Amino acid sequence: MLEQREASGTVCGKPLGLATAETSALVGLEAHAVRVEVCCTRGPAFFQLVGLAEAAVRESRVRVTSALAGIGVLIDEYAITVNLAPADLRKSAAALDLAIAVAVLGAIGKLPAASLRGVLLIGELSLGGRVCSIRGVLPQLEGARTRGTTAAIVPADNAAEAGLVSGIDVFVADSLDGVCAHLACQRPLARAPRTEFRPKAADPARGDLSDVRGQVVARRALEIAGAGGHNLLLLGPPGGGKTMLARLLPTILPPLAFEEAIETTAVHSVAGLIEANKGIVSERPFRAPHHSVSDAGLVGGGDVPRPGEVSLAHNGVLFLDELAEFRRSTLEVLRQPLEDGRVCIARARARAWFPARPLVVAAVNPCPCGYLGHPRRKCRCGTGERQRYQARLSGPLLDRLDIHVAVPPVDVAALTSGARAESSAAVRSRVAAARERQRERLATGAVTAPLNSQLGAADLERVGALDRDAKRLLESAVQQLGLSARAFVRIRRVARTIADLEGAADLAAPHVAEAIQGRLLDRRSEAENRIHRLNQVPEE
């Protein structure tokens, strides 16, 4: 909102002009309202910015001065002070350029005040006066709508993203001159066209699950993980197909729902990863960071908080290949996001949060050389090497991976066989049906979470009750395997998903038994023997 008034008094005999424009600043995904207050007098020329402005914002005086000169407005005869309020909120983006330029025009009397009230102005300016695209348009417009703002002007390059927001009039501009003509009621700007959401399945270029030879157990684990959103650990020697299986997981997941797409788009928009011609993330993201990734690169951070890989994979798949090669500190920072489903980045002046509910798939070799337990190749690692390698994966981290599955070497008979396994489409239909059952329980109020992997203890009591045989089996497994309370809950969640895949209303002993098989890596004191046993699991 821009208001212009002449002061009743004077400063050194010279009229005082004041103007205020509305814009916003992002802290994480939260859009905070920012008032751009401009005081303008005639006198020795200067242009100063106050209000905790970072370098990109302080440099806006150069861009604004040049852009205003491009439309014939010279400000070298004015003393201009720009205050960005509130003063305790750090402003770090160039998206404030447009609001600053308009507020300056209001302060020197070049724009009428009445037509500018209730208008959010966001956009970066080029030296020639072009309104350039910015990050975070979607969360900023959503924040403005929540605050009661009725209109907004955004860069034309962000039109597709802006078209996702309803309840607010959004206009798109490609030049400062066009913004001025619109605000002066001379030449209206075009409205942002509505963006149509067309959900997409995974890119066919990823391949198909029917291309996988053998690995029946691993394929089953992939289906269970996709159906319930359960994190998955793939353990086995090199060449068994761990990476291929992980990259095929998106092909069996159902397309994004509109609400999921909006959440995912907001995160990618803040990171600057939205394609201008699309404006929305229409397929589930797949992120596969290298094991040299930093802590901030994985979970987010920086002076200006940006989402990390775990948030960019929200509602999709985060693949951590060669898990034991990641730095120990990097892996440990994953523990809180995996448990809470969000990342909170705390700074001295602000706290930023990002959603973080990806389906995590990790792949790891059983030892440094990779051949511990291999039926045809001998492991070359010493006992100390194996222990140090396995110690890189802490018990608490493994505890948060719901399903652990062995991926043994593929038998040559399976490689040469002409028989094709089930396609991704066939598996995806079962996964979609299982997820639909979970959505129905959420809609009826039976549970408070959309996926089985997120069910709390109270939810499990209502929809995951165990019959006598299943309860006895689970109690025996906890005692003999030394499972933690977290593992106990996760077994029940996985069992609930297995029952959903079969269309069963109640949990039976076979469901629990299959879920227990995915917790054989929890007893760290016998890690080497466990890994050897896992690698000897025969294929069905």
pLDDT digits (tens, 9 = 90+) for 200-214: 877 777 889 998 888
> pLDDT-based confidence at 529, cuts 50/70/90?
very low
Of the listed ranges 34-48, 174-188, 256-270, the least confidently predicted one is: 34-48
- For the segment 350-365, the average pLDDT, to the nearest whole number, is 93
Domains in the chain: how many in total? 2
> pLDDT-based confidence at 42, cuts 50/70/90?
confident
CATH of the domain at 171: 3.30.230.10
Alpha-carbon distance of 224 to 231, in angstroms, equals 10
- For the segment 248-270, the average pLDDT, to the nearest whole number, is 95
Higher pLDDT, 10 or 318: 318
Of the listed ranges 220-229, 463-472, 495-504, the least confidently predicted one is: 463-472
Domain identity same for 184 and 211: no
Indicate whether 518 pLDDT > 90: no
> pLDDT-based confidence at 81, cuts 50/70/90?
very high
Helices (H) and strands (E) in the chain, counts: 22, 20
> pLDDT-based confidence at 6, cuts 50/70/90?
very low
Q: What confidence score (pLDDT) does residue 214 get?
A: 84
- For the segment 461-489, the average pLDDT, to the nearest whole number, is 88
> pLDDT-based confidence at 455, cuts 50/70/90?
very high
Any idea which residue has 């509130």 for tokens? 86
Indicate whether 537 pLDDT > 70: no
CATH of the domain at 505: 3.40.50.300
Listed in sequence order, the DSSP H helices in 13-59 are: 55-58
Q: What confidence score (pLDDT) does residue 16 get?
A: 62
Q: Would residue 198 count as lying in a domain?
A: no
> pLDDT-based confidence at 82, cuts 50/70/90?
very high
* pLDDT tens sequence across 92-105: 889 999 999 999 99
169 Cβ contact partners less than 8 Å away, ≥ 6 residues apart? 150, 151, 152, 191
Alpha-carbon distance of 446 to 372, in angstroms, equals 45
Any idea which residue has 């980045």 for tokens? 345
Q: Would residue 386 count as lying in a domain?
A: yes
- Bridge partner residues of 405 (DSSP): 234
Domain identity same for 274 and 148: no
Indicate whether 9 pLDDT > 80: no
CB atoms within 10 A of CB 412: 10
Q: Would residue 197 count as lying in a domain?
A: no
Of the listed ranges 109-113, 407-411, 526-530, the least confidently predicted one is: 526-530
Domain identity same for 178 and 290: no
Q: Would residue 199 count as lying in a domain?
A: no
User: With pLDDT > 70 as the criterion, what percentage of the chain qualifies?
Assistant: 92
Higher pLDDT, 415 or 276: 276
Indicate whether 526 pLDDT > 70: no
Indicate whether 524 pLDDT > 50: no
Any idea which residue has 């389906």 for tokens? 359
Higher pLDDT, 261 or 93: 261
Q: What confidence score (pLDDT) does residue 256 get?
A: 94
Domain identity same for 374 and 474: yes
329 Cβ contact partners less than 8 Å away, ≥ 6 residues apart? 295
Alpha-carbon distance of 357 to 343, in angstroms, equals 10
Q: What confidence score (pLDDT) does residue 49 get?
A: 94
Average model confidence (pLDDT) across the chain? 88
Q: What confidence score (pLDDT) does residue 376 get?
A: 85
Indicate whether 70 pLDDT > 60: yes
Domain identity same for 425 and 480: yes
Q: What confidence score (pLDDT) does residue 520 get?
A: 61
H-helix or E-strand containing 468? helix 468-481
Of the listed ranges 48-52, 123-127, 369-373, 499-503, the least confidently predicted one is: 369-373
Indicate whether 132 pLDDT > 60: yes
Indicate whether 87 pLDDT > 60: yes
Indicate whether 517 pLDDT > 90: no
Say if residue 14 is exposed, middle or buried (CB neighbours under 10 Å; 0-12, 13-18, 19+): exposed
Higher pLDDT, 463 or 303: 463
Domain identity same for 374 and 520: yes
Higher pLDDT, 278 or 317: 317
Domain identity same for 179 and 220: no
Question: How far is CA 516 from its chain centroid?
Answer: 30
Indicate whether 4 pLDDT > 70: no
- For the segment 521-534, the average pLDDT, to the nearest whole number, is 41
Alpha-carbon distance of 260 to 236, in angstroms, equals 33
Query: Which of residues 191, 223, 253 is at a domain's end?
Result: 191
Query: Which of residues 133, 167, 191 is at a domain's end?
Result: 191
Q: What confidence score (pLDDT) does residue 7 get?
A: 40
Q: What confidence score (pLDDT) does residue 413 get?
A: 76
Domain identity same for 156 and 50: yes
Domain identity same for 514 and 491: yes
Q: What confidence score (pLDDT) does residue 540 get?
A: 39
Indicate whether 469 pLDDT > 70: yes
**Contact at 8 Å (CB) between 288 and 313?**
no
Domain identity same for 78 and 213: no
Alpha-carbon distance of 86 to 76, in angstroms, equals 27
Indicate whether 523 pLDDT > 70: no
203 Cβ contact partners less than 8 Å away, ≥ 6 residues apart? 283
Q: Would residue 335 count as lying in a domain?
A: yes
Domain identity same for 252 and 108: no
Structure tokens at 502: 């079969």
Q: Would residue 341 count as lying in a domain?
A: yes
Domain identity same for 81 and 59: yes
Q: What confidence score (pLDDT) does residue 251 get?
A: 95
**Contact at 8 Å (CB) between 152 and 120?**
yes
- For the segment 181-198, the average pLDDT, to the nearest whole number, is 94
Higher pLDDT, 200 or 354: 354
* Domain range for 237: 204-535
- For the segment 373-383, the average pLDDT, to the nearest whole number, is 88
Indicate whether 2 pLDDT > 50: no
Structure tokens at 264: 């995912």
Q: Would residue 196 count as lying in a domain?
A: no
Q: What confidence score (pLDDT) does residue 465 get?
A: 86
Of the listed ranges 12-16, 216-220, 279-283, the least confidently predicted one is: 12-16
Indicate whether 12 pLDDT > 70: no
Q: Would residue 540 count as lying in a domain?
A: no
Query: Which of residues 170, 191, 212 is at a domain's end?
Result: 191
